[in-house]
Structure 1
Amino acid sequence: MAEELIMPKLSMTMEEGQIVNWLVDEGDAVEEGEVILEVLSDKTNFEIEAPASGVLLKKIYDADDVVPVTEVIGYIGEEGEDIEDLIADKEAGSEKEAEVQDKEEAAEKTEETEKTPAAEKEQSTKENDIEVKDEIITDKVKTVPAVRRIAEEKNIDLRKVEPTGENNVIEVRDIENYIAEMEKGTEIKAYREKLSGIRRSSAKKVKESWTDIPHVTVTSEVNMEKIIELKDSWNQMQKDDVLKVSITDLLIKIVAAAMERHPIMNAYMEDDVEVVHNEGVNIGLAVSVDDKLTVPVFKNLEAKNIKDIVREKKELIEKARNNKLKSDEITGGSLTISNLGMYGTEIFTPIINAPQSGILGVGTIKKKPVVVDDEITIKPMMWLSLAFDHRLVEGAPAAVFLKEIKDLLEFPAKVMF
């Protein structure tokens, strides 16, 4: 019997995927485990393998189609196998589901309508009719209450509106005509653009993160003098440029050390009912590739030194640039680091990469006058912004965690090497 090829759910937040490219055609022989198509989801391309050996009998969806997870996208079976009945049964099931959903939506609308008594509508209409007939004279302008409300909402000077009502009263139609004329003069030309699959997926995920996760942000300014000295000293000793470190490399190491000491930040909420605790310290790094954002995840950082982090970061970024990241390389993170310092940004409030527990926003390093031992001196300062999931983490533990990162950045040698 033919095997269904379905759109896989490649992460907990994935709801749909876009078919980027079929690598085989209908009628081609395939082997179990062979990569047969590429799918785009959560800002990353994934390679999908054949679930069984046989022949690709049918493609249900083509390249660029967006398909919900678990939906059948094709069939693999024996050459010449008849699958028309399978396809017909599947379509009939989909139609039945759609019919049930339509009935449920119709029932909800009926219930909402019944909640509004007809008497309330009638009373409201009567009150409005009376209100329109009453005149208000203010600053030598005759008008009615409805016009006055519109003028206040739109910030309109009623002396500029030409009245057409009896006794020079400004009627609703007069202010509506005035607004229409004003809008003609300020009409803005624009064009519409449909979001591509990756941008649509990103927009949907950001919206869900913002609406589903109660964000709270705490900030702290850090003296980066010692970490810069450490970076420069380390890089001077390296003969191989591949092992030279950046501030981001050092941040990953330090944040991992802080997460070991504060395990609640190495966990995340799942479906509002469970807390998932990662055994290893897993941190995501926000990476912008061709104006598209992706978040590769460093796994088991508690067991890695700074050299390991430098090498792994280069590998993950290279994969991100070539759309070669695998599902397990963008999932499982507890917290993400987003560094906008290279763009001159001083401080910002980042949005959590769901379902993670938090995200650390990193600003630019800027020399500033600060007070040290009651004296004003110039130091390289940097802002950190920690946005965290308030369902999982209370304000005080989050503030303590951020202070831990600040302390380790200001005295880094004890955890770095």
Structure 2
Amino acid sequence: MSVEIRVPTLGESVTEATIGQWFKKPGEAVNADEPVVELETDKVTIEVSAPASGVLEAISFSEGETVEVGALIGVIADGAKAAPTEQSQNKQETSEASMASEDKNDAAPVDIVVPVAGESVVEADVGQWFKKVGDRVELDEAIVELETDKAAMDVSSPVAGTVIEILAESGETVEVGALLARVQPGEGGAAVTAAPAPSPVAQVPAAAPAVGGTEMPPAPSAAKMLAEKNMDAADVAGSGKRGQVLKEDVLSAVANLGTTAVTKAAPAPARAPSNVDDAPREERVKMTRLRKTIATRLKEAQNTAAMLTTFNEVDMKPVMDLRKSYKDLFEKKHGVKLGFMGFFTRAVVHALKEIPAVNAEIDGNDLIYKNYAHIGVAVGTEKGLVVPVVRNADQMSIAEVEQEIGRLGRAARDGELSMADMQGGTFTISNGGVYGSLMSTPILNAPQSGILGMHKIQERPVVVNGEIVIRPMMYLALSYDHRIVDGKEAVTFLVRLKESLEDPQRLVLDL
């Protein structure tokens, strides 16, 4: 019986990869979970492991060839036992120790590993363990929480059984594919190890320096681009395994004119010691990966973009009157409450069609104009700010927008956002008004060129048709990248928003 080796799912929008290096040749023995081949994409380098022990019978593609996701790249002939590597020997000894009991379960333990977490995500921090050694776990029950630089996610057990080992502690950083725990399938409990085996994380080589000093050569696609741009790999911060420079790193360095590399290389300023009377009353808490990523990206946005903010205000009475008249009928028909975000999203989409620069981005020396609108909606959670994306908002009705925003908001609060929910936004809306903010200057969500800040609705005296009246007013703020968006375009964008919201019929008539 033969076992196929196929190209795994590589992340959103990634459909192909390049064969980097074969670690085994046809005829050589291979153990289950032993790396067989390295694949390279534009954004990440991954190792594909053998799904079973045996002999590598055939290789379908040579190094340097391009393969699509799901393509058959090799075949393992079952039945031959390979000489165990040090890593597989450790795993075998650990497994044998964990199953040592007079009444052994016939089923082999099942490994719980770090899943592929999405495009460009190669590692995660171990968060909270929901189970401990000896605990019963059901099929698809969450066993541990992992935190990447984009979101938190739960890892579930693929079988029902008993947790017999935990190999990564809370707070540890683990790579995609690393072993987290083992579960013994079955109804009864299995004997657990007296002492846990060394964590696989400890065997991972220390990360290479971000700029220069890495022994890993640039990925082929990155090397080609470095040559085209007449750049040195030592001047680019590598984000791949062991500091390898990837194509995305070169693109980022070109777009940022070197600011990213400089920022990463610069040491953080040392903090002055606290006063002896104050130190006992302070609490030092390690930053989560999500919080560190938020801080880094916001600072890079400030360093890179020529960011300006322009303001306007909108009379919210027409929208509020419309909501009051139809909110019950709307909720009865569509199963969701009629909020403000549906109106604002539709108004933003209309304005983006007229001012496409606000929906564009800079890529090196090119401008990319997008004939679609994926609107990011900033949501505050206990773990920090996340920006799930309403995809193809330009093709949605107000009801569909409200339904999708409701789904994303619930997922964000429950920690169930997927990578697909977080990627690909072209413009962002941030509503600080829910916290009482009267006015603010939002920071761009790079590489986007615009972000709209909504604020608190507050009654103020305004002049309407020559008379002073009290109206529910909201300040609007548009932060934009002046490298691509001119001042006239930014001001016009807010004016169009104001016109649509003060006369909602324009949204229905597409005016």
Q: Does 1:45 align with 2:152?
A: yes
CA distance in 1, matches of 2:359, 2:179: 39
Give, in angstroms, the shift of residue 413 of structure 1: 1.3
The one-character-per-residue Cα deviations of 1:109-161 (angstroms, maximum 9, x if unpaired) are xxxxxxxxxxxxxxxxxxxxxxxxxxxxxxxxxxxxxxxxxxxxxxxxxxxxx
Aligned match of 1:66 in 162, 173, 179? Answer: 173
Q: Does 1:193 align with 2:300?
A: no
Aligned match of 2:359 in 266, 282, 295? Answer: 266
SS of 1:238's partner is helix
Change (3 A) 1:209 1:24: farther
Letter in 2 for 1:10: G
SS of 1:403's partner is helix
The one-character-per-residue Cα deviations of 1:360-398 (angstroms, maximum 9, x if unpaired) are 111111111112233222222110011112233222212
Aligned match of 1:214 in 297, 301, 306? Answer: 306
SS of 1:368's partner is strand
1:306 touches 1:416 (CA, 8 Å); kept in 2? no
The aligned counterpart of 1:178 is: none
Q: Does 1:101 align with 2:213?
A: yes
- Contiguous gaps of at least 5 residues in structure 2: 1-30, 35-48, 50-112, 134-141, 158-164, 182-199, 216-233, 236-273
CA distance in 1, matches of 2:430, 2:414: 20
1:338 touches 1:362 (CA, 8 Å); kept in 2? yes
Give, in angstroms, the shift of residue 44 of structure 1: 1.4
SS of 2:457's partner is strand
The aligned counterpart of 2:118 is: 10
The one-character-per-residue Cα deviations of 1:180-203 (angstroms, maximum 9, x if unpaired) are xxx98x975552422342333332
The aligned counterpart of 1:247 is: 340
For residues 340-379 of structure 1, what are the structure 2 equivalents within 5 Å?
340-379=432-471
Greater length-normalized contact order (CA 8 Å, ≥ 6 residues apart): 1
Letter in 2 for 1:73: A
The one-character-per-residue Cα deviations of 1:60-110 (angstroms, maximum 9, x if unpaired) are 85542235xx7773599xxxxxxxxxx99x86x76887997299xxx99xx
SS of 1:101's partner is coil
CA distance in 2, matches of 1:208, 1:25: 40
Change (3 A) 1:239 1:340: closer
Change (3 A) 1:42 1:389: farther
1:254 touches 1:416 (CA, 8 Å); kept in 2? no
Change (3 A) 1:306 1:99: closer
The aligned counterpart of 1:235 is: 327
For residues 119-268 of structure 1, what are the structure 2 equivalents within 5 Å?
188-189=278-279, 191-197=282-288, 198-238=290-330, 240=332, 242-268=335-361
Letter in 2 for 1:327: M
SS of 2:406's partner is helix
Letter in 1 for 2:313: E
Give, in angstroms, the shift of residue 304 of structure 1: 0.8
SS of 1:402's partner is helix
The aligned counterpart of 2:476 is: 384
CA distance in 1, matches of 2:351, 2:212: 51
The aligned counterpart of 1:403 is: 495
SS of 2:308's partner is strand
CA distance in 1, matches of 2:331, 2:167: 55
User: How many pairs align?
Assistant: 317
The one-character-per-residue Cα deviations of 1:213-238 (angstroms, maximum 9, x if unpaired) are 33211110111121111221221433
Letter in 1 for 2:491: A
Aligned match of 1:19 in 126, 130, 146? Answer: 126
CA distance in 1, matches of 2:484, 2:406: 32
**Higher helix content, 1 or 2:** 1
Give, in angstroms, the shift of residue 409 of structure 1: 1.0
Task: Name the TM-score, length of structure 2 as normaliser.
Answer: 0.52
Change (3 A) 1:357 1:9: farther
Give, in angstroms, the shift of residue 310 of structure 1: 1.6
Letter in 2 for 1:20: G
Q: RMSD across aligned C-alpha pairs, in angstroms?
A: 4.4
The one-character-per-residue Cα deviations of 1:240-297 (angstroms, maximum 9, x if unpaired) are 2833311122111211222222222222334x44444444211011112236321110
CA distance in 2, matches of 1:253, 1:99: 44
SS of 2:456's partner is strand
CA distance in 1, matches of 2:409, 2:127: 21
The aligned counterpart of 2:194 is: none
CA distance in 2, matches of 1:300, 1:206: 25
SS of 1:39's partner is strand
Change (3 A) 1:60 1:402: farther
1:234 touches 1:244 (CA, 8 Å); kept in 2? no
SS of 2:416's partner is coil
CA distance in 1, matches of 2:436, 2:483: 32
- Contiguous gaps of at least 5 residues in structure 1: 27-34, 51-57, 77-86, 109-182
SS of 1:347's partner is coil
Change (3 A) 1:394 1:257: same
CA distance in 2, matches of 1:326, 1:277: 26
Change (3 A) 1:19 1:280: farther
Aligned match of 2:506 in 405, 414, 417? Answer: 414
Aligned match of 1:287 in 379, 385, 391? Answer: 379
Change (3 A) 1:60 1:71: farther
User: Quick check: which has more Rg, 1 or 2?
Assistant: 1
SS of 2:213's partner is helix
Task: Name the TM-score, length of structure 1 as normaliser.
Answer: 0.62
